[in-house]
Structure 1
Amino acid sequence: MDGLLLVFSNLSLLPAIYIAIKGQFYAESIIYCLTMIFSALYHLCDCHGFHYCIFPYDMLQFGDFFTATLTLWCTAIIISNVPYQWISSFHLVGATIFGTLLHFWMTGTWSFVVPAISTLLLIGSYWGYRYYRERTLPELIYSNNFYVAIGLMVLGSILFASQTIFYFRRLYGISHSLWHISMSLAIALLLPRYQNIDSFWTENLKINSTNESNQPKPPIIAIAPAPPPPTTASCQQHNNNDIMNFNSQVNKAFAL
């Protein structure tokens, strides 16, 4: 019974997969799918009683742990608003470091502590930098989803610690299944419903530019070129004419 509960509890990742696809986070949606598949296959192979191993046990265990750490890391990259040109680099660095840790310490504590601390440092550093530069906080903090997700993650951390540190093996199936559900729902609540912030602002700029292009433009008024300045000869001729007119007026006055 516990084995089936562990297998089917991975379906709680489906909302996160749907939201990731809807928000055009395709790489993250693929990672969530792989996490769901590897975790289900690993627990199907690991459960007592009826079990079936489609791949070797060590391979399934590595795939489960590796994709789980990548799920946390990629989600942190999304909500921390890493610049678009650096996302692939962060994916590669995280996969290399976490994969190396799991290769040498598959079930060691540091294999899970390092990814957790790395995600918190990534989010805190980028949010702090954004606040330092722009004095703004992400919209996620002002939503109820953020606080519900934090509560679910705290609950999941307690459940995970209870089964790894205190070895509550009797409640392993229930506690681990609840950990699956709480973390999966927390990820679904933290994911944005649109693409990352940079592309969101780009879309806004596109919309604004489209609206400006649709606005009526002021009429174009054709202005004739200014007449050329008078030359020296024309000015002299004009002055001579004025003098002659003045003299004729004076002569007429004295003639009277």
Structure 2
Amino acid sequence: MNLMLIVDVPVKHHIQWTPNQEDHLPWDQEAQSRVAPGLRELDREQTGEVHADPVGYKESSVQHSQKPAPEEDTKEEGWSGWGCTDNSQAFTYGFQLLSTLLLCLSNLMFLPPVLIALRSRCLLEASVYIFTMFFSTFYHACDQPGIVVFCIMDYDVLQFCDFLGSLMSVWVTVISMARLHSIIKQVLYLLGAMLLSMALQLDRHGLWNLLGPSLFAVGIMAIAWTFRTIRRRHCYPPTWKRWLFYLCPGTLIASSAVALYAFVETEENYFYIHSIWHMLIAGSVGFLLPPRAKPDGRVAPLARRKGCGYQLCVNEQEELGLVDPGSVSINSICTS
């Protein structure tokens, strides 16, 4: 073994070890081949390089733009082994691109509910659906474990806005179905937004964050429909077509979406199950959103002649204090 010591200055000492070919290494070639990739990965982590392989892709240390990298990020991409160098089950670039596009483009199913809401003059509901579609698209573009990632802002902000938009879409749809007075409806919209924001800060991934507001809104809708049924002595909504072609299909689609989200969705099937969840929720909104309110059939009051009939005609002499107000009749006031 040749040991060469290079002394530059008293402060720095450089030691270089150059083994000969006949020197015996402390480990065999097989062990060296297993450990060397891991050591190369550590070196790439220090330099910030990305390790790529024809079979799959992974990021060893480069974080997504403003996205907190999880401790097991490489495991999520299918890489395994002591040094995360086993790519036998790694996600290919095509699979990562397909899953990203599927999760993002499935949000375009909110376009029909937006058009239906605008046609029904439900502007608040339409704005909530647009908010949900926008932030859900870019959240899923940022929430990918591979290299197909695009973040327009902080990851935590995108996640919060996506969850809030999803819950608000369910909330405003059910409250809109209740056909409440405009003032009461707007108050419930505002209270729902504040309470849902608080709930999401407490636990964003809790199942009751979805079921709780949904059940509460359904209770409000049931009370409003029962009150109308008793007052009108007729089932509300009154037409069987509304029940058969809109309410029943919409309820069935929404129930299927909740069942998939609660009992079927896992980390392995997240890409396509969650995309189906997007499409089912948007489709149910299109069925459940109520149509434009029709006139109640009351006869409008007849238009009165301009001036007479209203206490708006003013006698100039009375206004100037030239006559006694008690001696002036309505007819004299309105003749001017």
Alignment correspondent of 2:109 = 12
Q: TM-score normalised to the size of structure 1?
A: 0.74
Q: Taking structure 1 as reference, are residues 39 and 139 closer, same or farther at Cα in structure 2, changes over 3 Å only?
A: farther
Which is helix-richer, 1 or 2? Answer: 1
Alignment correspondent of 2:229 = 131
Bigger CA drift: 139-148 or 29-38?
139-148
- Do residues 61 (structure 1) and 159 (structure 2) align? yes
Separation (CA, whole Å) in 2 of partners of 1:11 and 1:76:
21
Question: How far off is 1:153 after superposition?
Answer: 0.9
SS at structure 1 position matched to 2:283:
helix
SS at structure 1 position matched to 2:268:
helix
Question: Any idea what the Cα deviations from partners look like across 1:11-56, whole Å, max 9, x if unmatched?
Answer: 0000000000011101110110000001001100002321111111
Cα pair 2:135 2:162 within 8 Å, conserved: yes
Question: Any idea what the Cα deviations from partners look like across 1:40-83, whole Å, max 9, x if unmatched?
Answer: 01100002321111111111111001111111111111111111
Higher relative contact order (CA 8 A, sep 6+): 1
Question: Any idea what the Cα deviations from partners look like across 1:106-156, whole Å, max 9, x if unmatched?
Answer: 222232221121122121111122222222311475341211111111210
SS at structure 1 position matched to 2:209:
helix
SS at structure 1 position matched to 2:295:
helix
Q: Which amino acid in structure 2 is aligned with residue 189 of structure 1? A: F
Q: Which amino acid in structure 1 is aligned with residue 165 of structure 2? A: T
Q: Taking structure 1 as reference, are residues 152 and 80 closer, same or farther at Cα in structure 2, changes over 3 Å only?
A: same
Separation (CA, whole Å) in 1 of partners of 2:255 and 2:174:
16
Question: How far off is 1:173 after superposition?
Answer: 1.1
Q: 250, 268, 291: which is aligned to 1:170?
A: 268
Alignment correspondent of 1:23 = 120
Bigger CA drift: 139-148 or 178-187?
139-148
Separation (CA, whole Å) in 2 of partners of 1:174 and 1:142:
31
SS at structure 2 position matched to 1:170:
coil
Bigger CA drift: 175-184 or 46-55?
46-55
Bigger CA drift: 175-184 or 138-147?
138-147
Cα pair 1:66 1:99 within 8 Å, conserved: yes
SS at structure 2 position matched to 1:8:
helix
User: Quick one: percent identity of the two aligned structures?
Assistant: 27
Separation (CA, whole Å) in 2 of partners of 1:142 and 1:65:
30
Q: 85, 90, 100: which is aligned to 2:188?
A: 90
Alignment correspondent of 2:173 = 75
Q: Which amino acid in structure 2 is aligned with residue 161 of structure 1? A: A
- Do residues 149 (structure 1) and 250 (structure 2) align? yes
Consecutive unaligned residues in structure 1, runs of 5 or more:
214-256
SS at structure 1 position matched to 2:218:
helix
Question: Any idea what the Cα deviations from partners look like across 1:172-208, whole Å, max 9, x if unmatched?
Answer: 111111111111111111123314xxxx235x44xx5
SS at structure 2 position matched to 1:180:
helix
Alignment correspondent of 2:131 = 34
- What does 1:219-234 correspond to in 2, within 5 Å? none
Separation (CA, whole Å) in 1 of partners of 2:206 and 2:255:
21
Larger of the two Rg values belongs to structure: 1
- Structure 1 runs, 4 residues or longer, greater than 6 Å off: none
SS at structure 1 position matched to 2:179:
coil
- Do residues 161 (structure 1) and 161 (structure 2) align? no
Q: TM-score normalised to the size of structure 2?
A: 0.57
Aligned residues: 202
Alignment correspondent of 2:149 = 51
Separation (CA, whole Å) in 2 of partners of 1:139 and 1:99:
36
- Do residues 191 (structure 1) and 284 (structure 2) align? no
